[in-house]
Amino acid sequence: MRSGLWRFAEWLDPIPETAQISLGEGNSPIVRSRRLGPSVGLKNLYFKLEITNPTGSYKDRFACAAISDMVAQGKTECIATSSGNTGAALAAYCALAGIQCEIAIVEGAPEGKLRQMLAYGAKLYRVRGFGIDNRISDRVIECLRQLSSRPTAQMQISAFALSPVGMSGVKTIGLELAEQGPESWDHIFCMAGGGGLVLAVSRAFEQLHDAGCVLQLPRVECVQPEGNNTISGPLRAGLDVAQAIQCTSKISGLQVPSVIDGNEVIAACRRNGGTGHLVSDEFIWQTQTRLAREEGIFAEPAGSTAVAGALQAAAEGLIDPNAHVVCLVTGSAFKDPASLEAMVRHTSAPLIDLVELERRLDAG
C-alpha cells in the first residue's frame, strides 16, 4: 500500500510513482468536540487535526505533491514565498529530495517558523511590506516568477493560480473527510489567506460527487480575519469577485492581501452553498486558548480560525444544531511562539522547595 498522500494518487495530478516522495503526511484524525460545540448548541462538531502532519501543518500535503513533481522534472531549485507553514513544509521536503530551497518571507512571519525553515537548510529572505501591502506582495511574486524561469528552477506558492500540482495534494483533506465522516458533512469550515485550502476541499468533494462517491456536496465555509477580508466579505455580500486590500490582521499565515485564488473560491462556494465568515483577531486568539483548555488541542492562531468561524456562525444561528460540522485545525501552536507566550502570560511554573510541595499536597 502506498504511504502518505499517494494512496489517493488516482485523484491527484499525475506524478510518476518513481518520483513520489513522502514523510508520512496526511491521514490526520478527526475528533469530536466535547465542550466547544455544546457551548454554542452544536451537537456534532468535529475537528480535523492537521497539526499531526510531519512539519506540523496541512502544508505538508502541498509540499509533498509539489516537490515530487519537481523530482519528476529533474528540477534542483525551489523558489518560494511563505508566511511560515508553506516554507517549513517545502524546506523539509526539499531536504528529503536533495533540492535547494530559497524562500521570500512575509515581514511578520513568526520566529519559530523561520527557525524551522532554517533547520531544514532553507535560505530565507524577509521582505519589508510583503504580506501587508498588496502591491509589494504582487511585485514579490513577479520577481520570484522571473527567478524561477531558470531551467533548473521552479516556483512554488501554495495557490492553484501559481502551483496547481502542489495544490492537488491539498485535495486529500477532502478525500479523507469523505472517508472519516458521517454519511455526509453539512458544513466544512476552512480558514483562508489566499483561499487555496477552501478551493482544494471544494474541488475534492466535486470530484467525489461527479464520480458518484458522495451524494451531496457539503457547504464549504470560508473564514478570514476581519483585517484580511479579500474573499469572505465579497462572498457573503453576493459578489462574484474577490478584492485586494491593505492587510491589518496580525494573524500569521493569513496575511494575504492579494486576490490569488479568491475568485475561484467564490465560484466554488456558490456551487456548494458555503458562504464567508469574518472573525476578529481577538476572537481567534480567544478560540486558540479555548481549544487548548477545553479540548486539549494545541493550535496556532491561523489553525484556530476555522473553529472561531464555526463558533461565531453557531452563535448567530446560522447552523442547524443537529448539523454535522467539521473544522480544519491547520497548524500547531509550537509554530507561533509569540501567540503561545500570550496565551500563558498570566500563568507560571514557580520553583518551590519540596517542603512547600508537601504542604500544598496536605492542604488538598
Residue 162 C-alpha cell reads as 501559481
Angle at which helix 301-315 crosses helix 281-290, to 10 degrees, equals 100
DSSP three-state, residue 278: strand
CA 222, CA 119: separation in Å to the nearest integer?
33
Which has more pLDDT, 329 or 138? 329
The predicted-structure confidence for 85-111, as pLDDT tens digits, reads as follows: 999 999 999 999 999 999 998 887 888
Residues 179 and 209: beta-carbon distance below 8 Å: no
Rg of the chain on CA atoms, in Å? 20
What CA–CA distance (Å, rounded) separates 326 from 323?
A: 10
* Closest C-alpha to 22, from 113, 89, 86, 120: 89
Is the CATH code 3.40.50.1370 the one for domain 59-165?
no
Q: Is 4-57+167-343's fold the same as 59-165's?
A: yes
What local confidence, expressed as pLDDT, does residue 19 receive? 97
- Model confidence over 265-279: pLDDT tens digits? 999 999 999 999 999
pLDDT at 334 over 90: no
- Residue 360: predicted pLDDT: 84
32 contacts: CB under 8 Å, gap ≥ 6? 44, 45, 46
pLDDT of residue 341: 82
Residue-level pLDDT at 141: 85
CATH dotted code for 4-57+167-343: 3.40.50.1100
Tell me if residue 71 falls in helix, strand or coil. helix
Arithmetic mean of pLDDT over the chain: 94
| pLDDT digit string, tens, across residues 19-58 | 999 999 999 999 999 999 999 999 999 999 999 999 999 9
Burial of 293 (0-12, 13-18, 19+ CB in 10 A): exposed
* Crossing angle (nearest 10°) for helices 172-180 and 196-210: 60
What is the per-residue DSSP string for 330-357? Answer: -BBGGG-HHHHHHHTTT-------HHHH
pLDDT tens column, 106-156 = 887 888 889 999 999 999 999 898 877 878 888 988 899 898 899 999 999
Mean pLDDT, residues 336-360: 85
Beta carbons of 242 and 262 less than 8 angstroms apart: yes
Count of CB atoms situated within 10 Å of the CB of 356: 11
pLDDT of 316 reads 96
pLDDT given at position 1: 58
Q: Please tell me the predicted confidence (pLDDT) of residue 164.
A: 96
In this prediction, residue 101 carries a pLDDT of 97
CA angle 43, 187, 218 (to 5 degrees): 135
Percent of the chain with pLDDT over 70: 99
Residue 314 reports pLDDT greater than 90: yes
Q: Is 165 strand, coil or helix? A: helix
246-299 pLDDT tens trace = 999 999 889 888 889 999 999 999 999 999 999 999 999 999 999 999 999 999
Q: Beta strands 77-82 and 44-49: pairing type?
A: unpaired
- Band of pLDDT at residue 322, cut at 50, 70 and 90: very high
Q: Report residue 364's pLDDT band, with 50, 70 and 90 as the boundaries.
A: low
Domains of the chain, residue spans: 4-57+167-343, 59-165
pLDDT of residue 312: 98
Q: Residue 357 has what pLDDT?
A: 87
User: Would you state the cell numbers that stand for residue 242, as one nine-digit string?
Assistant: 474577490
